[in-house]
Amino acid sequence: MLGLPMLEGTNPASCFPRCAIGYEAACYSRIWSEVLAPGGAKDPIEILSDFLGREPSIQTFIDNKIECSLWH
């Protein structure tokens, strides 16, 4: 995105650029509908792993927050 390399394990949807003003609500709603669709039928960590396509990692989350903060 924006010509910047993404960190390994980064989910681009979680670091969506603010240049797409007006699209955030639709994107956010669609993503949450995917995450919440299973309801209580699955363990929350399994839902998150399915959504990410990998096991969650606190380090990836921290790296992503640092990278996103550089864009604002």
Please give, one letter per residue, the 3-state secondary structure of 39-59.
HHHCCHHHHHHHHHCCCCCHH
Q: Is the pLDDT of residue 59 over 90?
A: yes
In a domain, 1, yes or no: no
In a domain, 4, yes or no: no
What is the count of structural domains for the chain?
A: 1
Please tell me the pTM assigned to this model: 0.43
**Residue range of the domain that includes 44:** 21-71
- Residue located via tokens 């921290």: 62
In a domain, 7, yes or no: no
- The CA distance from 55 to 47, in Å, is 10
Residues 6+ apart with CB under 8 A from 48: 35, 56
Report DSSP state, residue 62.
Answer: H
In a domain, 15, yes or no: no
pLDDT, tens digit, 9 for 90 and up, residues 30-52: 878 877 777 778 888 898 898 88
